Structure 1
Amino acid sequence: MSKVSVDNSISMVLDKRRKKKNGKFPVKLRVFTSTPRKQKLYPTRFEFSEEEFSCIWETVRPRTKYKQARQLLQAIEQNAWSVANELEPFDFELFEKKLFRKRRDGTNVSYLYEERMDELRSMDKINTSNNYGLALKSFEKFCESEKKKIEELSLFDVNGNWLSKYEHFMVDQGKSLTTVSIYVRTLKTIFNKAIAEKEIEPGYFPFGKGKYLVPKVSNKKKALTKEQLKQLFEARPKSPQEEKAKDFWFFSFACNGINIKDILLLKNRDIEDDKISFYRAKTISTSKGNLKKITVYLNSFAKDIISKHRGKSIAPDALVFPVLEGYDDPVKRHNKIKNFTRFINQHIKKICKDNDLPIISTYWARHSFATSVIRKGGSMEFVQESLGHSSMDTTKAYFAGFDDNTKKEFADQIMNFG
């Protein structure tokens, strides 16, 4: 992509492809780039006959009655030039975004959050979009405590002092530092996006050393010991619901800690002989340049669970477990996955209570798998590959939450070359 050149690459034109019933043609804003060679026409609210357009725009000195119309067209053209000249290199998508929103929207916190939530929903990232919504509501409450409206909040208002006061406000309200961290990280993303789009200078970025530091909260242990895993596996469910919940929890554990969303998105074609291969839904829209397919070899338990709960359809594109429907829209699919995860969590908790085990969730299956690999002498690289982490830092964060016994076992195993 190239920067728009000064050689009439932006201009007002009369679109003569289709005459309106009143005999006039719409006036369009024409943007042309030579590299790549591309032209786009953008609508305006004006329409003129060929004679009117000539008298208003194509003449050097329009008559008095045409001067106002000429000034309005000039304003549109000048605004387009102003937007285009901010972009290096020129990008049509970003140009359109900036052109059709109000000038202040580019730094307005509420507007940017709504825009980001729409983007996330379009990428089927409903959970992340909801987190942005919760963060925005939290900032709104803080603004109210400061006698300010959230609609008036600008990125220029959000500095280190504002963020520190927000953190104290949240803690005073009984919120955890983990929640504070989650919410302010969404603001970091909003700032980075605004800087990338040249809406705000990098110097206004309020995070980092000497500014505001996002709270770092240590991970809590979310893994069962091998004794607890054995006790849970041997526990007898008291209802079909508990049995189903236990089946899917251990299926997740047995299949490299695969999360519930990925389980429910598995298709028949993903199963081949004694293995399943899939891309994590979480990384499909964020790591397109480095997508890694996860391969899980199925043990006899995992195969039994598939046989037990598999749907009737044998079509390659049919879902293995018939919880979702192929025609579900993203929001409906998200809600079904959320409800099924809640179902598992509710009933696995009942089993845990009846057997004097820690109260766990589906997330514990993933951590318990990782912990078990480490206990058996597996490497961090193997855990990273099995969990589908693109970064070793993410895998190390899992290990940071392990108990001291697990860390000791790992240290004892690391020099075992046998």
Structure 2
Amino acid sequence: METHLTVICRKDKMNKQNEAPIAIKISQNYKSKKVSLGVKINIAYWDFENNKLKDETPNREQIQFLIDTTIQDLNKKILNYRIQDKEFTIDDLLGISEKKQKTITIEKYFMKLVSQLKEIGKLSSASKYYFCLSSLSKFKPMNTPFTDIDFQFLKDYEVYLRKKGLANNSIATQFSCFKSTYNKALEEGVFTNEDSPFKKFKVGKLWTQTRKRAIHKEDVQKLKEFDLSTLIKYPTPYLEFARDIFMFSYLTAGINFKDIATLRYCDLDNGRIYYSRHKTQKNMNTILLPDALKILNKYIKKDAGAEDYIFPILDRNIHITEQQQADRVQKVLKQVNRKLKVISKALNLKINLTTYVARHTFATVLKRSGVDIGIISESLGHSDLKTTQIYLDSFENTQIDAAMQNLL
């Protein structure tokens, strides 16, 4: 009885961001099951012909380690069965049984996912799953199996979240995370259920399209020219740094704060910045307009190394681990947004400035300047920013560069 293990990228499960989960396919006697590893990659980084990661895959070492250890564990189990000359099924190999389904609780499975995501450096996703588990646990104890989840549970949880005052999109975020976890566990054979409660409970109906927030081009000019020293209650350098971050994001295609924080000297080349966007792992590059370069030059140090960070947010000698970096980025981001709020009030703006507003303003100003809708559509194009960013990447740099001349 031959048992085969194959690493696959499940294109059939690809999402809107062209990301698909990596899984181990276990084949035996014309039957097979796919075991998800709990990690997704952009399909551009998968070699489908040879079923392996491409060399340039972001976080390749961590993901490959996860693949290797999973295969090693499965091979050990196969070897043990053969040494004992025992027949075994795929379910036996995966430890799937009635008893197993009862012992793997929702809480344990969530924590397993959180650990896997941390191992491969996806701290933001790990936090999202942990927060989802925390929310569920406050509603009802999660030391129960997935088979306890039914349609009524989901309806009651929705009512609970609404009573807590959560907005539609916040509720939808919690349910999307829970549904994703439920489906992962189901796919891995943690439990069996032919009638998922999520078939009846539609998570999609919870989402509400929100009005994107942006300021006008004239307001950007006011911000640029505003004398920060008039705000005597606040140290000018901190206000100036917050403004620089906003303006730099606006002038560099709406680069988000985390990507600004991790910009290194080696990411600068011939008047452009090159970086991999943390949220999507997409390789990005954008022109450095004169005003953006002026901001950059304020923070550039002559004695810095190629791998050093440009902006004074992270320090390679202090913020070493992924967690240390994530904590530092969040701390500084809050400080920047607080200072931007102060400036917003001084300028009598209708909305509070944030780094996100800078990103959306970039797109909106170009749209209002008459830039082709195919390059930049309203509110960065689509229902979410990631889809629009991917769409934007498909155009040639010269086209985008010309469009960006409308920014100031």
Q: TM-score range by the shorter chain?
A: 0.5 to 0.7
Task: Tell me the CA shift for residue 43 of structure 1.
Answer: 12
- TM-score for the superposition, normalised by structure 2: 0.67
CA contact (8 A) 1:86 1:198 kept: no
Q: Which moved more, 1:253-262 or 1:218-227?
A: 218-227
Shift of 1:217: 1.6
Q: Structure 2 matches for 1:7-406, cutoff 5 A?
A: 40-41=75-76, 81-82=88-89, 84-85=90-91, 95=94, 103-104=100-101, 108-143=105-140, 149-152=141-144, 154-201=145-192, 203-208=194-199, 210-214=200-204, 215-237=206-228, 238=231, 239-284=236-281, 291=282, 293-326=283-316, 328-357=320-349, 358-383=351-376, 394-395=384-385
Q: CA 1:301–1:188 in structure 2 vs 1: closer, same or farther (change >3 Å)?
A: same
CA distance in 1: counterparts of 2:120 and 2:72, whole angstroms: 29
Give identity over the alignment, percent: 23
Larger Rg: 1
With the length of structure 1 as denominator, give the TM-score of the two structures: 0.66
Taking structure 1 as reference, are residues 207 and 373 closer, same or farther at Cα in structure 2, changes over 3 Å only? farther
1:21 maps to which residue?
none
SS at match of 1:207: helix
Unaligned stretches of 5+ residues in structure 1: 7-35, 47-56, 59-72, 88-94, 144-148, 285-290, 400-418
Cα offset, 1:105, TM superposition: 6.6
1:113 aligned counterpart, secondary structure: helix
**One-letter identity of the residue aligned with 1:262:** D
Report the CA distance between 1:309 and its aligned residue.
Answer: 1.3
Q: Distance in 2 between matches of 1:38 and 1:341?
A: 41
Match of 1:321, SS state, is coil
Kindly provide the amino acid, as one letter, of the partner of residue 111 in structure 1: K
Q: Which runs of 5+ in 2 are unaligned?
A: 1-5, 7-24, 30-70, 390-408
RMSD in angstroms over aligned alpha carbons?
3.6
* Counterpart secondary structure, 1:277: strand
CA deviation map 1:345-372 (0-9, x unaligned): 0111111112211212111111111111
Gap change, CA 1:335 and 1:38, over 3 Å in 2: closer
* CA gap 1:279/1:86 in 2 versus in 1, 3 angstroms: farther
- Offset of residue 162 of structure 1: 1.4
Q: Aligned equivalents of 2:72 and 2:175: distance in 1?
A: 41
Structure 2 partner of 1:68? none
Please give the alpha-carbon distance, in whole angstroms, between the structure 1 residues aligned to 2:290 and 2:284: 19
- Across the two proteins, how many residue pairs are aligned to each other? 312
